[in-house]
Every structure is written in C-alpha cells, then in structure tokens.
Amino acid sequence: MKVLVGIKRVIDYAVPVRVKADKSGVEALLPKLSMNPFCEIALEEAVRLKEKGIASEVVAVSLGPTHFQDTLRTALAMGADRALLVAPPAPPPPAPGSAAAASPPSDPAAAASSPDALPSPLGVARVLAAVAGREGAGLVLLGKQAIDGDCNQTGQMLAGLLGWPQATFASKLEGAKGGSSVRVTREVDGGLEVLSLSLPAVVTADLRLNTPRFVTLPAMMKAKKKPIEALTLAQLGLDPSRDMEPQLATLRVDEPPSRAAGRKVGSVADLVRALREEARVL
C-alpha cells in the first residue's frame, strides 16, 4: 500500500504573530517557517506504517512555491521515500474594498503572508485528489488542521471528492500487512470512537497519534539524494481558473479584542471577595 502524506508549510507554532498595520494579514515576529505540527504527526505515522511493513512507499506532497522544497526535504529526512511539489496558481487579485487592495504588497514574502495568497482547502483537496489518483495511493494521511488557517477541512473534503471513507482526529491507527482495511481510534467530543475503514481511505491526525521523531544530520544528508518532483496543475489535469479559484476573499484581518487589565490578589479570601463583589460570578 502506498501512503500519500499532505504537508503544509506554516509560520512556526512557537512564533508569535501580530496583525499587520494595514489589516491585510498577519506577520510573524520571527522569520521562521516549519512543517505544520499536525502534518508532522501524519508523516510520522506513515513512516511507522512503512517500518511495520504495512506501507510499501511513503510519498510526501505539498502545494506551494519552490522554496517549499525545504519543508519537503525535512519530510524526506523524517523517512518519506520521495516528494512531490505542486506549483500553485498565481495569487488572485485582492477583493475590491479589502485592505490589501488599497496597498498591494510588492515583495513576494509579504504576498505569501496574505491569507488569500495560498489556495483554499477546496483547491488543496482537488490537488490531493488528483495526486492520489495519479499515484494510486491506498491511504492518504493529513493533519487534522493547519495552525495558520485553523480550517480543519482539507481531509474531509478530499475524502468527499474521492468518495473514500474518512477518519478524522485519529489518535490510533492499526493496519495489517497486505490488509484491505485500517482500524482508527478517533478523538470525539466526550471520548473516543473506533472506526474500521476499507482502503483506500483518508485519515487525519490528531495530536496524540504519535510523537514525531527528530531529524538527524545523517538523515538530512541522505534526504538530499531523495527525489523531489515538480508538478504543475496542468499535469494533474486541473484548470487553475476552474478548480483553484478561491471562492472566499479575506476582506480584513483584525486584532482580537483586548481585555481590560487584571490585577493580582493577595490571598484566597481576597480572590473570593473579588469574585463575589466585583465580578459577581460566585
């Protein structure tokens, strides 16, 4: 069984972000981009499936500009056999009336941080569906959400487009060598749920599926020899204007509402008094 893993490059989870002055998007306070943490978990699971002899090949795929190769290189160092980088369509013009329309960002780095610069989950799902078909994937593993857009949609949409069964928010994945199904434990409201999926299927990883391995220097050196294939949308049979057109425009991005300053209380008695008399919540 061939396993396809979707990889997204995002602002590192530990880097604070702030809303840009022109409200066109957010900017990172440090220029550090990394693999989305949930994608790392999905990839780790795929590599473990290969180590157990269940998966025959692990293929990492990302949609993005050429410099996304860095992230795919990390994926290869973690144990993916090869990688595919699909070139995205040119970013759409900003929506009329949006903050970005007033001052179009001139440098590519600024453009990349605009929320509309990257394809929507529906566009990504269409690309992944085409890649899954081309590769003859038996299982597609994705993260449950990207920590930038927080959409939590791509895996579900991909499964819908392919007509494959899905198991989202997976915390355990069991399969057998040469088996035709996988057993997935899902994190749901109130507890856990176990599903059995006949292959091919789509699974999205939750935090507790595994702990991704660290990339060692020898693995990184070895990864340099592994192939990264560049693909265009046309090669996948996709029409950028029809399949990748973003249906949503981000009009503006705002700061979260700020809270009134709090204060320190000296004792538990003070705290209870404040909660009763000021906040009136007791």
Instruction: Assess 254 for contact with other proteins (CB under 8 A).
Output: yes
* Element at 84 (helix H, strand E): strand 82-86
> Residue 233 and residue 244: Cα distance in Å, rounded?
9
Instruction: Assess 265 for contact with other proteins (CB under 8 A).
Output: yes
> Residue 174 and residue 167: Cα distance in Å, rounded?
12
Q: What is the Cα Rg of the chain in Å?
A: 22
> Residue 255 and residue 266: Cα distance in Å, rounded?
32
Q: Is 11 in contact with 33 (CB distance < 8 Å)?
A: yes
- Which CB atom, from 69 or from 152, has the smaller least distance to other proteins? 152
Binder of other proteins out of 178, 218, 227, 262 (CB under 8 A):
262
CB of 76 to other proteins, least distance (A): 26
CB of 50 to other proteins, least distance (A): 23
Q: Is 124 in contact with 155 (CB distance < 8 Å)?
A: no
Q: Is 38 in contact with 143 (CB distance < 8 Å)?
A: yes
Binder of other proteins out of 51, 193, 229, 239 (CB under 8 A):
193
Judged by CB under 8 A, the chain residues 210 through 239 that form the site for other proteins are: none
HEC profile for 166-184? EEEEEEEEEECCCCCEEEE
Q: How many residues bind other proteins (CB under 8 A)?
A: 84
> Which one of 71-79, 104-112, 189-197, 216-224 is the stretch in contact with other proteins (CB under 8 A)?
189-197
Contact letters (x/-) for other proteins, 24-63, by CB under 8 A?
--x-----------x-------------------------
- Which CB atom, from 24 or from 62, has the smaller least distance to other proteins? 24
Binder of other proteins out of 122, 141, 170, 209 (CB under 8 A):
122
Judged by CB under 8 A, the chain residues 79 through 108 that form the site for other proteins are: 95
> Residue 132 and residue 8: Cα distance in Å, rounded?
16
CB of 177 to other proteins, least distance (A): 20
> Which one of 55-63, 100-108, 221-229, 266-274 is the stretch in contact with other proteins (CB under 8 A)?
266-274
Q: Left if phi > 0, otherwise alpha if psi is -120 to 50, otherwise beta: which for 61?
A: beta
Contact letters (x/-) for other proteins, 139-178, by CB under 8 A?
-----xx-xxxxxxxx-xxxxxx-xxxxxxx-x-------
Q: Is 90 in contact with 10 (CB distance < 8 Å)?
A: no
